């Protein structure tokens, strides 16, 4: 099996799986219980929280059920804080649905939401963003890395602009695709969302980092867990799992990123040498774990199912948008036409991939693309 859909989800580290199993079997107490088993579970949660906080430098961290809840919490908690004020909310046209759909909900409730455009490489238009930020802006939400193209957004520059123009505006970044593949310490943001299964951790666990200079209103209420900001019995096994996965992701980090860069460049150059009419979607200086390419004159969906017969797994884009009809919102925002979007494939790599796998992928894709172009079966 050659798995190149790591932006959708990653294979869990074996050590993480073992850790989760051990905690589930032996340390299953409720962290809110007063007996020793509960206190031991509480210590595990505290230790995991400290280890994860060290990865960004932000002082607070709320455990969530994943990136979607973390994004929703960031948007809706700010909106609830300013629910009686005439405030502005700013995001971009290439955000993950967890942010875009939340913003659409705010619009339905009568809030003023601004969607900032991006250029042909998928980078946010800083000039437009700067013009829109004012003292009435409650929240700006811009993802760190785009999940479909790997485009890295100028988060530190955006954060600086926000603080200069409107110091009270809260800046949130969805770092789900970036965490474990970029160093995020000193990132110029007030809130950061992450999700465990994007960096070889468990599914169903994520976190929202918070600047300690402000408080948000609780998104889920109940027993008052997570310092009263997110009620519900803590998922101790997964919390231990996401913490271990984070530590492992950042171990030998530079070596891992060098490998991903080599895989990315090797695959792209190999495809270019075998095929004509290929378009790179996104910047040259992108996150090394993502490569988005349009094979003109083909349909990506057909290619995906063709190479799947050789146990090669890729995607057309965001797994969270797979049930939507029509062209990719991200690629459309970048100005791609329908044919370019229809033929777009996303390859996303992990440390478990190899150059020898890329040779197989190049060969299988070259054969499939040439065959479909010759037959014209995509029409």
- Give the tens place of pLDDT for each residue, 4-20: 999 999 999 999 999 99
Domain boundary among 231, 249, 267: 249
Say whether pLDDT at 228 is over 80. Answer: no
Q: Report the pLDDT value the prediction gives residue 57, as an integer from 0 to 100.
A: 83
Q: Report the pLDDT value the prediction gives residue 82, as an integer from 0 to 100.
A: 86
Domain boundary among 232, 249, 266: 249
Helix (H) or strand (E) holding 296: none
Q: Report the pLDDT value the prediction gives residue 323, as an integer from 0 to 100.
A: 47
- Give one DSSP letter per residue of 28-91, joined into a string: ---TT-SSHHHHHHHHHHHHHHHHHHTTT--SEEEEESSHHHHHHHHHHHHHHHTTTS--EEEE
Q: Does residue 42 lie in a domain region?
A: yes
Say whether pLDDT at 233 is over 70. Answer: yes
Query: How far apart (Å, rounded) are the C-alpha atoms in residues 290 and 140?
Result: 25
Residues 205 and 347 both lie in one domain: no
Residues 103 and 239 both lie in one domain: yes
pLDDT in tens, 37-96: 788 888 999 999 999 998 998 889 999 999 999 999 999 999 988 887 789 999 999 999
Residues 259 and 230 both lie in one domain: no
Q: Report the pLDDT value the prediction gives residue 222, as an integer from 0 to 100.
A: 87
Q: Does residue 278 lie in a domain region?
A: yes
Residues 88 and 100 both lie in one domain: yes
Q: Does residue 379 lie in a domain region?
A: no
pLDDT in tens, 296-350: 999 999 999 999 999 999 998 655 554 455 789 999 999 999 999 999 999 999 9
Query: Which residues neighbour 146 within 8 Å (Cβ) at sequence distance 6 or greater?
Result: 94, 122, 153, 177, 282, 330
Say whether pLDDT at 112 is over 80. Answer: yes
Q: Does residue 133 lie in a domain region?
A: yes
Which domain range does residue 199 map to? 14-249
Enzyme catalytic residues: 320
Beta bridge partners of 230: 220
Q: Report the pLDDT value the prediction gives residue 4, as an integer from 0 to 100.
A: 98
* CATH at 78: 3.40.640.10
- Give one DSSP letter per residue of 143-177, joined into a string: -SB-TTT-BBP-HHHHHHHHHHH-TT-EEEEE-TT
Residues 238 and 328 both lie in one domain: no
Residues 64 and 105 both lie in one domain: yes
Residues 241 and 268 both lie in one domain: no
Residues 90 and 106 both lie in one domain: yes
Domain boundary among 249, 273, 300: 249
- In percent, the amount of the chain with pLDDT more than 90 equals 79
- Both tokens of residue 209? 């980092």
Mean pLDDT of 362-369: 97
Q: Report the pLDDT value the prediction gives residue 370, as an integer from 0 to 100.
A: 95
Domain count, the chain: 2
Say whether pLDDT at 379 is over 50. Answer: no
Of the two residues 143 and 212, the one the predictor is more confident about is 143
Residues 169 and 189 both lie in one domain: yes
The DSSP code for 190 is: S
């Amino acid at each position: 099996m050659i798995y190149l859909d790591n932006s959708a989800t990653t294979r869990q580290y074996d050590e993480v799986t073992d850790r989760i199993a051990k905690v589930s079997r032996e340390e299953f107490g409720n962290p809110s219980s007063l007996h020793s088993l509960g206190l031991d579970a509480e210590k595990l949660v505290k230790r995991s929280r400290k280890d994860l906080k060290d990865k960004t430098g932000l002082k607070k961290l709320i455990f969530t059920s994943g990136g979607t809840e973390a994004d929703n919490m960031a948007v809706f908690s700010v909106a609830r804080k300013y629910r009686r004020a005439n405030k502005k909310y700013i995001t971009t046209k290439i955000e993950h649905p967890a942010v875009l759909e939340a913003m659409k909900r705010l619009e339905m409730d009568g809030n003023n939401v601004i969607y900032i455009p991006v250029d042909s490489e998928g980078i946010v238009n800083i000039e437009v963003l700067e013009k829109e930020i004012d003292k009435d802006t409650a929240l700006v939400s811009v993802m760190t890395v785009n999940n479909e193209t790997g485009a890295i957004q100028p988060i530190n520059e955006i954060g600086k602009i926000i603080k200069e123009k409107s110091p009270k505006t809260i800046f949130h970044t969805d770092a789900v695709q970036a965490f474990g593949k970029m160093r995020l310490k000193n990132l110029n943001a007030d809130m950061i969302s992450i999700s465990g299964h994007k960096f070889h951790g468990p599914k169903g666990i994520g976190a929202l980092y918070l600047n300690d200079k402000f408080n948000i209103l609780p998104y889920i209420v109940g027993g008052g867990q997570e310092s009263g900001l997110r009620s519900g019995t803590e998922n101790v096994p997964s919390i231990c799992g996401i913490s271990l996965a984070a530590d492992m992701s950042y171990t030998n980090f530079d070596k891992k990123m060098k490998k991903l860069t080599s895989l990315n460049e090797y695959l792209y150059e190999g495809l270019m040498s075998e095929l004509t009419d290929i378009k790179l979607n996104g910047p040259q200086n992108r996150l090394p774990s993502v490569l988005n390419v349009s094979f003109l004159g083909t349909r990506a969906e057909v290619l995906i199912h063709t190479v799947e017969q050789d146990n090669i797994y890729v995607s057309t884009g965001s797994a969270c948008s797979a049930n939507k009809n029509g062209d990719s919102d991200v690629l459309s925002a970048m100005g791609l036409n329908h044919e370019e979007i229809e033929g777009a494939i996303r390859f996303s790599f992990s440390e478990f991939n190899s150059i020898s796998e890329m040779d197989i992928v190049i060969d299988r894709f070259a054969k499939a693309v040439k065959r479909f172009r010759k037959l014209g079966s995509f029409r």
